[in-house]
Structure 1
Amino acid sequence: MKEDSIAIAGFHAHIYYEPASRDAAARVREELGARFEVRLGRWHDLPIGPHPKAMYQVAFLPNQFANIVPWLMLNREGLDVLVHPETGDDIADHTEHALWLGEKLELNVEFLRRIRTTQ
């Protein structure tokens, strides 16, 4: 049986950028923070964890999904965005449960596997 959406504790949106698109990423970040109840993560100007490019994370609750994701669809300023649930299975959340806006980037899933084996 498939998992029920009740198992989703929250969502993360990872907003990816390059040095040339950092200003656009800052505008998207500012609007997200002003419009929605979100937790804005730190700027990571270098790849970190499974993420192949610079990014920041935006965390939000399931009841915000219907507002935030459509807004990102229309206002992402050409940036690539990964949206994934938090179900407790980081590998599945970042891969089979993931939603991409823009280009689907190749994540370092091996990083997530290594973390799983050390826990």
Structure 2
Amino acid sequence: MITMMMSSNTHYHAHFYFDQATCQYAETIHVRANQELGLKVGRFHRKPVGPHTLWSFEIDFNGAQFESVTAWLEQVRAGHSVLVHPVTDDELRDHTDSVHWLGEPVSLDLSIFK
């Protein structure tokens, strides 16, 4: 796990990973992130998308919300891996050097950034 430099002006994404067997639970978390935390939640992908090699959905938040969102995700992830990264103009760095993992890291397809 890498300690991230946080700023209240920085935007973050959390990618919650799941598979067919855990899809129903992930759908519950997808809804709860919006309802309980009021966060923007992205599409529910039942296929790998972008650099993500597993099914996933994205949660958007800012630096002021970082601690509360990651603490909530840690409580509800139920063994799922979650990738948290800042959103900058350097997507390769965002998905490598600047990541924060909750749970086991997942291999990413970084070739899309080259």
Structure with greater Cα Rg = 1
Instruction: Tell me the residue number matched to 2:51.
Output: 50
Question: Bigger relative contact order, structure 1 or 2, given CA contacts below 8 A and separation 6+?
Answer: 2
Q: Contact 1:14 / 1:57 at 8 angstroms: preserved in 2?
A: yes
Deviation of residue 57 (structure 1)? 0.7
Instruction: Tell me the residue number matched to 1:117.
Output: none
Specify whether residues 94 and 30 from structure 1 end up closer, same or farther in structure 2 by C-alpha distance, changes over 3 A only: same
Range with bigger deviation, 49-58 or 28-37: 28-37
Deviation of residue 97 (structure 1)? 0.4
Deviation of residue 9 (structure 1)? 2.9
Instruction: Tell me the residue number matched to 2:74.
Output: 73
Instruction: Tell me the residue number matched to 1:116.
Output: none
The alignment status of 1:95 with 2:96, answered yes or no, reads yes
TM norm structure 2: 0.88
Question: For 2:11 and 2:64, how far apart are their aligned partners in 1?
Answer: 9
The alignment status of 1:14 with 2:15, answered yes or no, reads yes
Question: For 2:62 and 2:26, how far apart are their aligned partners in 1?
Answer: 21
TM norm structure 1: 0.85
Deviation of residue 107 (structure 1)? 0.5
Which residue identity does 2:58 align to in structure 1?
A: Q
Instruction: Tell me the residue number matched to 1:26.
Output: 27
Q: Contact 1:8 / 1:85 at 8 angstroms: preserved in 2?
A: no
Moved over 4 A (4+): 4-8
Taking only aligned residues, the RMSD between alpha carbons, in angstroms, comes to 1.6
Unaligned 5+ residue runs, structure 1? 114-119
Counting matched residue pairs gives: 110
TM-superposition CA deviations, 1:15-67 (whole Å, max 9, x none): 11100101111121122111213111011111111000111111111111111
Unaligned 5+ residue runs, structure 2? none
User: Identity rate of aligned residues, in percent?
Assistant: 32
Instruction: Tell me the residue number matched to 1:109.
Output: 110
Range with bigger deviation, 31-40 or 85-94: 31-40
SS of the equivalent of 1:35 reads: helix
